[in-house]
Amino acid sequence: MAEQTKLATFAGGCFWCMVGPFEQFEGVLSITSGYTGGSTENPTYEEVCSNKTGHVEAVQIEYDPEKVSYRELLNTFWKQIDPTDRGGQFNDRGDSYQTAIFYHDEPQKLEAEQSRKELDKEGPFNNPIATPIIPAKTFYPAEEYHQDYHKKNQFHYLMYRKGSGREGFIKDYWGE
């Protein structure tokens, strides 16, 4: 990682659905699907899905803050999830599919807290925002077949995104 780049880490349910929305930004240098937040070292997909590792599916984004702000990444994150759901995301249920913002430094923590407060006050949701903001922990890249899944298996990904309820939720709440 170059000196001028930063990391942003977001858990938004299925990591397949969290990669594409961030690719639109010129300043995003890489997006890695993986696991974080738990205690098991080098977990596998099967271990994480067992909900016994403490990990969630997440994406880690390397970005150039001179080209894309952390706030822009936060705004994109919020529009990909149901931040009021404590039990997972859409059809994906369980601890490994919970949402979270993992901050890497104090400015990210403050920016994330401010954005959550604004969303809770001004956003379209009737229920309170449940997405926690917590310190970043070790991030473990997922298996290769999970990386860029939306490109490698485009048809299956599009059907999954629609069938899971995520696509309809985003359109209903954000019109995108």
Tell me the residue type at 99: T
Are the CB atoms for 108 and 134 separated by under 8 Å? Answer: no
Question: Is 1 a domain residue?
Answer: no
How many contiguous H segments (helices) and E segments (strands) does the chain have? 7, 8
**In this structure, what CATH number is given to the domain that contains residue 47?**
3.30.1060.10
Are the CB atoms for 147 and 33 separated by under 8 Å? Answer: yes
Confidence of residue 136 (pLDDT cuts 50, 70, 90): very high
| Average pLDDT for 2-7 | 82
pLDDT in tens, 142-151: 999 999 999 9
Q: What percent of the chain clears pLDDT 90, i.e. is strictly above it?
A: 97
Question: Is 48 a domain residue?
Answer: yes
pLDDT for residue 166 is more than 80: yes
Residues belonging to the active site? 14
**Boundaries of domain holding 102:** 6-174
The tokens of 36 are what? Answer: 């974080």
Are the CB atoms for 141 and 32 separated by under 8 Å? Answer: yes
pLDDT in tens, 27-81: 999 999 999 999 999 999 999 999 999 999 999 999 999 999 999 999 999 999 9
